[in-house]
Amino acid sequence: MLKVFMLRSTVQRAASTRQLIYEGYGNPPEAIKLNSTNVADKPGAKEVLVKWIAAPINPADLNQIQGVYPVKPNLPAVGGNEGFGRVISVGSNVRSIKEGDHVIPNKSGLGTWRELGLHSEADVFPIDNTLPLEYAAVLQVNPPTAYRMLKDFIGLQKGDTIVQNGANSAVGKQVIQICRILGIKSVNVVRNRENLDELVKELKDLGANDVITQEELYGRKKKFPGVKLALNCVGGRSSLFLASLLDHGGCMVTYGGMSKQPVDCPTGPLIFEDISLRGFWMSRWYDVQKSPEKRQEMYKELTGWMKSGEMKKQAFVQNRLEDHARAIEEAQNKHDKKQLFLLD
């Protein structure tokens, strides 16, 4: 131990890295700055040096920079909560990770919009090395959100029906695909739009059983018997009608609030049908896991579906770090395409 320590102190070298940081909360396109810094290229005993490969821009990243997200890293902070990288060296006491491993963050607020990062062993989590970039960069948040919401609230059986709004969102599409794989029927609510037919086709190709517009949901003409689970990322009126579709004892899980309206729920289903409302936050699920087994088990199942092509790759707009202002601007204003930083 002592020897290693002395060796380190004598041959301390550093590598240069570029990163996107924010020094104070503000409007993300302006608050984020590109800078260069040095990281020690020799990790400490319990540290790993990660060469980050790809990282997306998620709504939570933007909220964090605005200062309105519950996880608030110490400032100045490197932006980004998701992404993956390759471990290029490990400290002498690192046991769970080895050089060459692909890793994703193991905590919120790690800062993934950077080329190189020196991280504590406990703050990253190894994943399947053979998983293609488009899957690995977004393995941590959306697929597990869909997966856990389908597994953790209602014991769904093959042939059961779930309903979701925001079905066109990234999580929504994962929900459709996982339902198809597990033999669960999905009823999917989307907003009406010009190219509705195209969207309906896209979602049906992913495995959606039914796609209806918000107006059709409010019209209540179509009946969907036996709905056990509703997934809500919109709120307001949409959640009100979603909850009304639930069968006796059903559950509506909220994981987002795109309409910025509170979650509305009618009295009847609550008190006569014994439905319940819950919420889901992926970060908390990760936080409360005492051991890695459940997480490994989930990633194994998900990466299996990804590698077999049962779950489709997401479409991205690829950006370099120096394009950050435009990329963040577009992430804020255009929700149809996910922005991704390529860092390698």
Pick the piece of the chain touching other proteins (CB under 8 A) from 23-31, 119-127, 174-182, 274-282. 274-282
Query: Exactly one of 281, 301, 323, 325 binds other proteins (CB under 8 A); which one?
Result: 281
Tokens of residue 139, six digits: 């393995």
- Those residues whose C-beta lies under 8 Å from the C-beta of residue 151, and which sit 6 or more positions away, are none
Q: Should residue 242 be labelled a site residue for other proteins when binding is judged by CB under 8 A?
A: no
329 vs 333: CA distance, rounded Å:
6
Q: Should residue 249 be labelled a site residue for other proteins when binding is judged by CB under 8 A?
A: no
Bridge-based pairing of strands 77-78 and 14-22 is antiparallel
Query: Exactly one of 84, 125, 135, 280 binds other proteins (CB under 8 A); which one?
Result: 280
Strand partners, 10: none
Query: Exactly one of 274, 287, 297, 344 binds other proteins (CB under 8 A); which one?
Result: 274
Q: Closest distance between other proteins and the C-beta of residue 257, in Å?
A: 3
Nearer to other proteins, 73 or 257 (CB): 257
Pick the piece of the chain touching other proteins (CB under 8 A) from 104-112, 195-203, 205-213, 253-261. 253-261
144 vs 141: CA distance, rounded Å:
6
Residue 332 burial (CB < 10 Å; 0-12/13-18/19+)? middle
Q: How far is CA 62 from CA 12, 26, 134, 314, 338, in A?
A: 35, 9, 21, 20, 13
Is 147 a residue of the active site? no
Q: Closest distance between other proteins and the C-beta of residue 259, in Å?
A: 9
Q: Should residue 235 be labelled a site residue for other proteins when binding is judged by CB under 8 A?
A: yes
124 vs 110: CA distance, rounded Å:
9
Q: Should residue 278 be labelled a site residue for other proteins when binding is judged by CB under 8 A?
A: yes
x/- string (CB under 8 A) for other proteins, residues 69-108?
Answer: -x--------------------------------------
- Those residues whose C-beta lies under 8 Å from the C-beta of residue 188, and which sit 6 or more positions away, are 163, 164, 167, 172, 176, 203, 208, 210, 211, 212
Q: Closest distance between other proteins and the C-beta of residue 174, in Å?
A: 17
Q: Closest distance between other proteins and the C-beta of residue 219, in Å?
A: 18
What b-and-e string marks burial along 264-274, b requiring 16 or more CB atoms within 10 Å of the CB?
bbeeebeeeee
Active-site position among 22, 69, 135, 299: 69
Pick the piece of the chain touching other proteins (CB under 8 A) from 4-12, 189-197, 248-256, 303-311. 248-256
Q: Are 187 and 210 in contact (CB under 8 A)?
A: yes
Residue with tokens 């819950």: 278
Q: Should residue 50 be labelled a site residue for other proteins when binding is judged by CB under 8 A?
A: no
Q: Should residue 247 be labelled a site residue for other proteins when binding is judged by CB under 8 A?
A: no
By CB under 8 A, the count of residues binding other proteins is 27
Residue 64 backbone dihedrals phi, psi, to 5 degrees: -65, -40
Nearer to other proteins, 73 or 88 (CB): 73
Tokens of residue 100, six digits: 């060459």
Q: Name the residue among 255, 274, 213 with its Cα closest to residue 238.
A: 213
Q: Should residue 205 be labelled a site residue for other proteins when binding is judged by CB under 8 A?
A: no
Q: Should residue 254 be labelled a site residue for other proteins when binding is judged by CB under 8 A?
A: yes
Residues noted as catalytic? 69
State the residues that interact with other proteins by CB under 8 A.
Answer: 70, 235, 240, 254-257, 262-272, 274-281, 284
